[in-house]
Amino acid sequence: MEAHAIQNSTQKIKSEAARLGFNFCGIAKAEFLNDDARRLENWLKQGMHGKMYYMDNWFDKRVDPRKLVPNAKSVISLMLNYFPEQTQANNLPKISKYAFGKDYHMVIKEKLKELLVFINENIGALNGRAFVDSAPVLERTWAQKTGLGWIGKNGMLINKNAGSYFFLAELILDIELNYDGAMKKDYCGTCTKCIDSCPTAAILPNKVVDGSKCISYLTIELKDEIPIEFKNKMDGWAFGCDVCQDVCPWNRFSKPHNEPSFNAAEKLNLSERDWIEMTDEIFNSLFKDSPIRRTNLVGMKRNISFLLPLK
């Protein structure tokens, strides 16, 4: 493909991504992630993935997108804002902001399907795959490599103009495009608010997060009983945790999203008693398309019970 055609294709993709509602779109060359391979290997060896055993799988695919899409040449990284206008009332079991509305996998996959169809119809038939946090893709690394932000001390991708309340998604394609420069500067500076504020001390120096101590892991990924060592350290969180983002100075630039599917529903108003007394029928009705289905009703009751003081 000639330079002009590559430039034209790149612009078409970015324009369509914006039309579909994505807030940012960056593109990087598909290549082996040497530094990330080393970091991921060390993180796994130290057991910081807890019982997320799936993190041990597909190591080669996590660090090389060409293993996911044969002859891959480009990784398109996309960001979709989920920062809500609504807030929960005080003293209710806390729900992470990303779970206020409809499951983001459903919302973003539809947008990615549309984008892939557009690319095939307007640029040409190609081989490509879409990913939304459900496959072995190091999404924050690719967002950083495409210039969308830097990886903060809490492990989150932070955009200088808009903060970190974003879902990340990728398209891996076997066509060459114009590539954006990586974000090389780290704007966290000497700030340690996320480290100092983490209720379970899961955020370590050098941008390392001990996943086995993270409240999001304990309330969502962990299927066993929550270890008693975390009693009275959960800060009221029943599903996920936003503390490290809430205290991040860069999130003063966060603006409410404009995606109707992410608007809050009844789940924000549920008390501890509401959760404990909830039936499967009510849960399935309220949370049919919600990320909270990930932990199911048994898991939510476990989380709520763990938040209650010992008698």
CA distance 165 to 134: 18
Q: Mind listing the pLDDT tens digit of every residue in the chain (311 residues)?
A: 688 889 999 999 999 999 999 999 999 999 877 666 556 556 556 665 555 545 555 555 666 888 888 899 999 999 999 999 999 988 899 999 999 999 999 999 999 999 999 999 999 878 898 988 766 578 888 999 999 999 999 999 999 999 999 999 999 999 999 999 998 899 999 999 999 999 999 999 888 899 999 999 999 999 999 999 999 999 999 999 999 999 999 999 999 999 999 998 777 889 999 999 999 999 999 999 999 999 999 999 999 999 988 65
133 among known catalytic residues: yes
Burial class, 79, CB count within 10 angstroms (exposed 0-12 / middle 13-18 / buried 19+): buried
Q: Considering the candidates 133, 186, 280, 289, report the single residue annotated as catalytic.
A: 133
Give the separation between CA 127 and CA 170, rounded to whole angstroms.
14
Give the whole-angstrom CA distance, residue 246 versus residue 258: 20
The residues spanned by each domain of the chain are 3-173, 193-249+269-307
